[in-house]
């Protein structure tokens, strides 16, 4: 992660191991506290399924390639990387902690809070699970409720409610193994939805109450904030890849054709498709071309996206914060690039929705490609890595979120896996909105590169 550079500031590299892509982003914090990106490399991911490593060798190859591209751009050699953890195995639970202090006259110290957090790590979990993050919600001092920071107060009974995020040990070990086989060291691991949130949400949104929905290739991650604190996290085992599979089966086309149809012509709301144009795909080896109606394509996409948003709604209800999210929904990840997806989310959940681009913390003059929601997780991991270096840069809520890092059981690597952020290779280039004539000639002109 660290290396000296011409700027005499530490350059850090974040590694986002996703279901559709592996992405390495290198950067440093400038004098104004903004993040300057000096290099990034993105390669297709083949060894990851639903956010979990399923093929070590393919994942190692992708990690090496993406890091090498980032190193060439940054002209720096990296040793350590900040890695993200995601996948279906991530679960969360709530727990109450209590500490009875010996001396009621002395002030509550940081050490007392640390002890409470440490105690959470002793929770008995199902076999194979481990605690990744312990996030304090609110503290109670001698029956005085809703205290955000008890340090400096007096009292005998110190209690706290915690949001605890767990994951499978083996999933994290596989990530460690892949990174080490690629010749690098894991500096730290962060839950990917938390990382994405730090890249796309504003402080005001986290205070007001917001649900971040990160639609990746293999999974959809939900993170709910209120009063600046993470209140709920969940992983839905569907993402952009299931939409592609539905198109493949519904339209009876090849998978790469289904992906291109989704990215270039797909809309999440069928009623928004005004003139029902026909997309013509060349047939195999002289067979008749296949005609697909744009409206039918969008119906297939809409049905699956509605299902994903139903899960999102269910999780928001389950969190108990349904009526408290003043800032509504923020969509990010590659799946959020689907045309009209924010409109569909708003229709279905009744919540104000916007698209989240990871530009909040980037220095002026950033590469336009980096503004794509595909890079939200990678840039978020970079923010975390830089905050680890310069603890003074944290906001207090970030400090709270990561308090547990110091107490990770030391011999156990932290956890693991992947990102979701991108189901469409053409990323931010949303030129497909501008295509009006969907003709046979369009595809025949470049049959290899298109279909």
| pLDDT tens sequence across 21-47 | 999 999 988 888 888 999 899 999 888
| pLDDT tens sequence across 133-186 | 899 999 999 888 888 899 998 888 999 999 999 999 998 899 999 999 999 999
DSSP secondary structure letters along 310-340: HHHHHHHHHHT-GGG-TT-EEEESGGGGSBT
Whether 251 and 296 share a structural domain: yes
3-state helix, strand, coil in the chain (%, to 5): 40, 25, 35
Looking at the domain assignment, is residue 339 inside a domain? Answer: yes
Residue 102: its H or E element? none
Looking at the domain assignment, is residue 136 inside a domain? Answer: yes
Looking at the domain assignment, is residue 30 inside a domain? Answer: no
Residue 105's CATH number:
3.30.1490.110
Looking at the domain assignment, is residue 197 inside a domain? Answer: no
**Helix segments in 350-403, DSSP class H:** 376-389, 396-402
pLDDT of residue 427: 37
Regions of the chain short of the pLDDT cut 50: 1-7, 392-451
Whether 266 and 122 share a structural domain: no
pLDDT of residue 410: 36
Task: Give the phi and the psi of residue 144 in degrees, each rounded to 5.
Answer: -85, 115
| Cα-based torsion angle of the residue sequence 59, 385, 319, 210 in order, rounded to the nearest 10 degrees | -110
Specify whether the backbone of 161 is left (phi greater than 0), alpha (psi in -120 to 50) or beta: beta
Distance CA 414, CA 92 (A): 16
- Residues 166 and 91: beta-carbon distance below 8 Å: yes
- Spell out the SS3 assignment of 189-250: EEEHHHHHHHHHCCHHHHHHCEEEEEECCCCEEEEEEECCEEEEEEEECCCHHHHHHHHHHH
Model confidence, pTM: 0.81
- Among 142, 167, 192, where does a domain finish? 167
Q: How many angstroms separate the first and last alpha carbons of the chain?
A: 40
Whether 429 and 281 share a structural domain: yes
C-beta atoms surrounding 313 within 10 Å? 18
Residue 28: its H or E element? strand 21-29
| pLDDT tens sequence across 425-435 | 333 333 333 33
**Is it true that the peptide bond before 417 is cis, omega within 30 degrees of 0?**
yes
Whether 154 and 296 share a structural domain: no
Q: Which residues, in sequence order, are CB contacts of 311 under 8 Å at separation 6+?
A: 220, 236, 238
Whether 332 and 430 share a structural domain: yes
Q: What angle do CA 154, 157, 159 make, to 5 degrees?
A: 110
Q: Beta partners for 134? A: 164
Whether 334 and 236 share a structural domain: yes
- Among 152, 167, 182, where does a domain finish? 167
Whether 300 and 444 share a structural domain: yes
- Residues 160 and 136: beta-carbon distance below 8 Å: yes
- Residues 332 and 387: beta-carbon distance below 8 Å: no
Whether 295 and 223 share a structural domain: yes
Residue 139: its H or E element? strand 129-141
Looking at the domain assignment, is residue 81 inside a domain? Answer: no
Give residue 262's domain range: 202-359+421-451
Looking at the domain assignment, is residue 9 inside a domain? Answer: no
Task: Give the phi and the psi of residue 307 in degrees, each rounded to 5.
Answer: -65, -45
User: Which of these, 424, 371, 416, lies nearest to 50 by C-alpha position?
Assistant: 416
**Helix segments in 201-357, DSSP class H:** 203-208, 240-251, 255-265, 294-319, 341-349
- Among 140, 167, 194, where does a domain finish? 167
Whether 155 and 222 share a structural domain: no
Q: Beta partners for 167? A: 130
Whether 354 and 433 share a structural domain: yes
> Which residue's structure tokens are 């990530």?
175
pLDDT of residue 391: 56
| Cα-based torsion angle of the residue sequence 76, 81, 86, 92 in order, rounded to the nearest 10 degrees | -140
In three-state secondary structure terms, 212 is strand
Whether 119 and 251 share a structural domain: no
Domains in the chain, number = 2
Whether 125 and 233 share a structural domain: no
Distance CA 113, CA 136 (A): 9
pLDDT of residue 102: 84
DSSP designation for 107:
B
Residue 296's CATH number:
3.30.420.40
Looking at the domain assignment, is residue 68 inside a domain? Answer: no
Distance CA 270, CA 54 (A): 35
Looking at the domain assignment, is residue 32 inside a domain? Answer: no
C-beta atoms surrounding 32 within 10 Å? 8
In three-state secondary structure terms, 84 is strand
Structure tokens at 168: 């499978």
């Amino acid at each position: 992660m660290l290396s000296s550079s011409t700027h005499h500031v530490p350059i850090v590299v974040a590694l986002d191991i996703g279901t559709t892509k592996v992405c390495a982003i290198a950067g440093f914090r400038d004098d104004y506290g903004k993040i300057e990106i000096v290099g990034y490399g993105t390669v297709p991911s083949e060894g990851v399924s639903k956010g979990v490593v399923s093929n070590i060798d393919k994942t190692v190859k992708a990690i090496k390639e993406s890091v090498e591209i980032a190193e060439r751009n940054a002209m720096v050699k990296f040793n350590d990387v900040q890695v993200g953890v995601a996948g279906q195995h991530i679960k969360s639970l709530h727990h109450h902690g209590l500490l009875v202090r010996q001396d009621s006259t002395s002030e509550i110290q940081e050490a007392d809070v640390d002890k409470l957090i440490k105690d959470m790590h002793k929770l008995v979990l199902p076999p194979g699970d481990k605690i990744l993050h312990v996030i304090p919600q609110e503290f109670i001092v001698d029956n005085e409720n809703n205290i955000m920071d008890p340090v400096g107060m007096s009292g005998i009974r110190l209690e706290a409610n915690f949001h605890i995020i767990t994951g499978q040990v083996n999933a994290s070990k596989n990530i460690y193994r892949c990174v080490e086989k690629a010749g690098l060291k894991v500096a730290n691991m962060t839950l990917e939805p938390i990382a994405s949130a730090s890249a796309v949400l504003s402080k005001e949104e986290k205070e007001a109450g917001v649900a971040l929905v990160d639609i990746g290739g293999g999974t959809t991650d939900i993170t709910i904030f209120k009063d600046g604190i993470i209140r709920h996290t969940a992983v839905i085992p569907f993402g952009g890849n299931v939409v592609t599979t539905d198109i493949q089966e519904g339209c009876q086309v090849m998978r790469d054709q289904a992906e291109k149809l989704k990215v270039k012509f797909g809309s999440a709301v069928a009623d928004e498709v005004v003139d029902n144009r026909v997309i013509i795909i060349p047939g195999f080896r002289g067979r008749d071309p296949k005609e697909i109606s744009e409206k039918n394509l969008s119906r297939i996409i809409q049905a699956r996206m509605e299902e994903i948003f139903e899960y999102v709604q269910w999780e928001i209800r389950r969190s108990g914060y349904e009526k408290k999210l003043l800032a509504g929904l923020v969509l990010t990840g590659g799946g959020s690039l689907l045309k009209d997806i924010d409109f569909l989310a708003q229709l279905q959940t009744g919540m104000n929705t916007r698209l989240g681009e990871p530009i909040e913390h980037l220095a002026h003059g950033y590469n336009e490609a980096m503004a794509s929601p595909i890079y939200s997780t990678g840039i978020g991991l970079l923010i975390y890595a830089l905050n680890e270096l310069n603890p003074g840069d944290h906001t207090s809520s970030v400090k709270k979120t990561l308090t547990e890092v110091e107490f990770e059981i030391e011999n156990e690597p932290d956890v693991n896996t992947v990102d979701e952020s991108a189901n469409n290779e053409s990323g931010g280039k949303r030129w497909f909105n501008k295509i009006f004539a969907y003709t046979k000639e369009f595809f025949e002109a470049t049959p290899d590169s298109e279909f």
